[in-house]
């Protein structure tokens, strides 16, 4: 078992520096353009594929790092470059994690490569869980999957929303209700292969931030997928549903995790790392500005009113990173989140990103409010971290329930 350490090893440092160079040389110069265009930055994703940043092999190597620190390190550097483009590059990973967390070895080997495509023909994937009336309240999910035993097919109907890469993805991973009486425990995840009839893109959202990342509704109308597209297989699903029914019948309160929750639990520290990257980028702009901007004959950083906020910003960023690293290390080494450490990391890092980017904008004054400086975009981008993959309120609820053992509402 890898011991927890604050020091990256030589290989990790090499990857970090390589990614930092890619973020500085490729992502940052393109950030403002694709934010304005509000389109998927396919040329940047292609460049990422050419150098190996956007590939199954690269993420597999980082994912299986025994220290757990490689994935948050990757996320921090890419999102230091730009949050919208960063999400376009890593958004496929959420669908891939969904397959890794719930799929069989055969499903993992079959579908994850198709999510990325290849250097000459890059593809993306989408994880579809949220619905118009079911975001934080996953028990309210209405998308149904009904098994057609005669044809060994599942028939999916419903509408998903807030799906990164939704509708433009080569592979969609869709969470649906298979047993309505089981509530959130009656959910399962399905692969919708490329070109499957009945799946279409609904509304594409025009967003406040992360505008280079495609976010849309996904509409499912009598979408038929083969039985082997049920992640984990039907036997495993039937066993899980049977346990849930027995638990309900006996009132034992046994917890049975559903597929969406398993995916989100695995990804929350990574989202915290994204937030750390955005916060760090804004802090660095503010620090450089404070050292070079002069007022009354001296750099503004000479004033405590400027220097002290910068000190607080850096302290919060470092604290957020350490929480993210701790949670990532715990997950990689199989240590249980007895105090909801994963949710703690996501909560603190996302709140830090909002506070730090707001303070950076304030320190730049009128310049910070213009698009001539990147902190305006970073401030808009930071708002998403307290919303997606579990709002700050949901993180606090998870933490409070874990600490108290009570069904806090």
Catalytic residue ranges: 389
Q: What's the rounded Cα separation, in Å, for the pair 99 and 111?
A: 8
Query: Which residue is associated with the tokens 């027995």?
Result: 246
220 CB-contact burial (10 Å; exposed 0-12 / middle 13-18 / buried 19+):
buried
Q: How long is the chain?
A: 409
- Any alpha helices (H) in 23-131, and if so which ranges? 28-37, 42-51, 56-63, 70-81, 83-90, 92-102, 105-116
φ, ψ for residue 219, nearest 5 deg: -100, 130
Q: Strands 121-122 and 171-177, how do they pair?
A: unpaired
Helix (H, G, I), strand (E, B) or coil at 220: strand
φ, ψ for residue 2, nearest 5 deg: -70, 135
Q: Which tokens belong to 155? A: 């028939």
Residue 212 vs residues 116, 189, 219, 369: alpha-carbon distances, Å:
18, 27, 22, 20
Buried b (16+ CB within 10 A) or exposed e, 167-192: bbbbbbbbbbbbbeebbbbbbbbbbb
Query: Which residue is associated with the tokens 């719930």?
Result: 102
Do 26 and 44 touch, CB atoms closer than 8 A? yes
Do 311 and 319 touch, CB atoms closer than 8 A? no
Query: Which residue is associated with the tokens 């290849």?
Result: 118
342 CB-contact burial (10 Å; exposed 0-12 / middle 13-18 / buried 19+):
buried
DSSP for 18-43? HHHHHIIIIIHHHHHHHHHHTS--HH
Helix (H, G, I), strand (E, B) or coil at 226: strand
């Amino acid at each position: 078992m890898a011991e927890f350490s604050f020091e990256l090893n030589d290989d990790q440092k090499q990857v970090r520096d390589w990614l930092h160079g890619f973020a500085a040389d490729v992502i940052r110069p393109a950030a403002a353009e694709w934010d304005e265009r509000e389109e998927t930055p396919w040329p940047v994703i292609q460049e990422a594929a050419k150098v190996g940043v956007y590939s199954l092999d690269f993420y597999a190597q980082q994912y299986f790092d025994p220290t757990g620190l490689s994935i948050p390190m990757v996320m921090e550097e890419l999102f230091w470059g730009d949050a919208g483009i960063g999400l376009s590059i890593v958004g496929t990973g959420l669908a891939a994690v969904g397959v890794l967390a719930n799929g069989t070895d055969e499903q993992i080997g079959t579908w994850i490569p198709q999510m990325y495509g290849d250097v000459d023909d890059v593809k993306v994937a989408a994880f579809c869980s949220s619905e118009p009336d079911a975001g934080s309240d996953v028990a309210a999910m209405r998308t149904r999957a009904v098994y057609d035993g005669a044809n060994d097919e599942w028939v999916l109907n419903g509408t998903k929303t807030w799906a990164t890469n939704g509708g433009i993805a080569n592979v969609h991973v869709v969470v649906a209700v298979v047993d309505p009486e089981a509530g959130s425990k009656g959910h399962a995840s399905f692969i919708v292969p490329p070109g499957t009839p009945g799946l279409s893109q609904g509304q594409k959202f025009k967003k406040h931030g992360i505008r280079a990342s495609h976010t849309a509704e996904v509409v499912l109308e009598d979408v038929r997928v083969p039985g082997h597209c049920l992640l984990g297989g039907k036997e495993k699903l039937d066993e899980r549903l049977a346990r849930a029914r027995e638990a309900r019948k006996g009132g034992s309160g046994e917890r049975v995790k559903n597929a969406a929750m398993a995916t989100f639990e695995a990804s929350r520290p990574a989202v915290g790392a994204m937030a750390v990257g955005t916060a760090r980028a804004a802090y660095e702009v503010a620090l450089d500005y404070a050292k070079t901007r002069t007022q009354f004959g001296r750099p503004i950083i000479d004033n405590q009113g400027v220097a002290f906020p910068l000190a607080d910003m850096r302290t919060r960023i470092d604290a957020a990173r350490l929480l993210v690293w701790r949670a990532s290390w715990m997950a990689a080494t199989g240590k249980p989140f007895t105090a909801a450490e994963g949710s703690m990391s996501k909560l603190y890092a996302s709140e830090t990103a909002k506070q730090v980017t707001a303070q950076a904008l304030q320190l730049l004054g009128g310049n910070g409010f213009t698009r001539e400086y990147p902190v305006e975009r970073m401030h808009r981008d930071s708002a998403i971290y307290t919303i997606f993959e579990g709002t700050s309120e949901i993180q606090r609820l998870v933490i409070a329930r874990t600490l108290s053992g009570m069904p806090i509402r």
